[in-house]
Amino acid sequence: MGGMFGALGAMAALAQREHTGAGMEVQASLFENNVFLVGQHMMQHAMTGRAPAPMPTRISAWAVYDVFTVKDGEQVFLAVVSDKQWDIFCRAFGLADWLADPRLKTNNDRVQARDWLLPQLRAHLAGYRASELAAMFEREGLPFAPITRPEQLFDDPHLKATGGLAPVTLPDGRETRVPLAPLTLDGVQPPIRLQPPAVGEHTDELLRAVGYRDDEIAALKARHITQGDKPS
């Protein structure tokens, strides 16, 4: 996604150069790319007030690369993907027996042992708060990430700081925010071009664009074949 939007930005910059003769700097962001991918789920929550369900659990190529539900139902993503990280993890959490277990010597060994290893690991970590685990993983240099659901991204401090969310008015008049395209052109993210249209808002201009005359549009509306805000 980062490469794709980088390429789109480069093409947009080249097209702009054809008109102005000037180049521009293009940036694409990894985090904003992920936000862009769940933008429709954010809008689903904004429209319905219901949180979207998560995707099914998939098979991992690493022994520990999972979301863990811990104290008070909090969730955190933790990863221990190399033999060095396994050593660090076991020592940090007092798991000397696991570190010495020949069944868990390599990542491939641990992947094969996931059926019994993961339930024991989940039980061992269940008493921690997500913030405690995040702090320990941060201190030890191990990969982790807080779990942020789409509906929580509306108040994400990173997106607020970068301006990655733009205000939008829903068809029913309510105000919300939507993620912008995850790239910048000369330091500016492309803004929203149009607000979400109401039903029939652009009927007249769309029909005119495909060749209908005003009297034909009025006849279609009179027969309730099309809908618009006002008669032609």
Question: What pLDDT score was predicted for residue 228?
Answer: 67
pLDDT at residue 56 is higher than 50? no
Q: What residue spans define the domains of the chain?
A: 2-53+150-185, 64-146, 197-232
Q: Which pLDDT belongs to residue 85?
A: 97
pLDDT confidence of 40, banded at 50, 70, 90? confident
Please state the pTM of the whole predicted model.
0.54
What's the pLDDT tens digit per position in 114-131?
A: 999 999 999 999 999 999
Q: Look up residue 143 and give its two tokens.
A: 């990969």
Beta-bridged to residue 79, according to DSSP, are 65
Span 64-146 CATH architecture: 2-Layer Sandwich (3.30)
Say how far apart CA 42 and CA 151 lie, in whole Å. Answer: 5
Give percent above pLDDT 90 in the chain.
59
Other Cβ atoms less than 10 A from the Cβ of 126: the count is: 11
**C-alpha–C-alpha distance, residues 33 and 9, integer Å:** 13
Tens digits of residue pLDDT in 168-215: 999 888 999 999 988 888 888 899 988 888 888 899 999 999 999 999
- In sequence order, what DSSP letters do the residues of 72-119 get, joined into one string? GG-EEEEEE-SHHHHHHHHHHTT-HHHHH-GGGSSHHHHHHTHHHHHH
170 phi, psi to nearest 5 deg: -75, 160
Which strands form 64-69's sheet, in the order they lie side by side? 64-69, 75-80, 144-146
Residue range 1-18: mean pLDDT, rounded: 92
- pLDDT of residue 55 exceeding 90, the answer is no
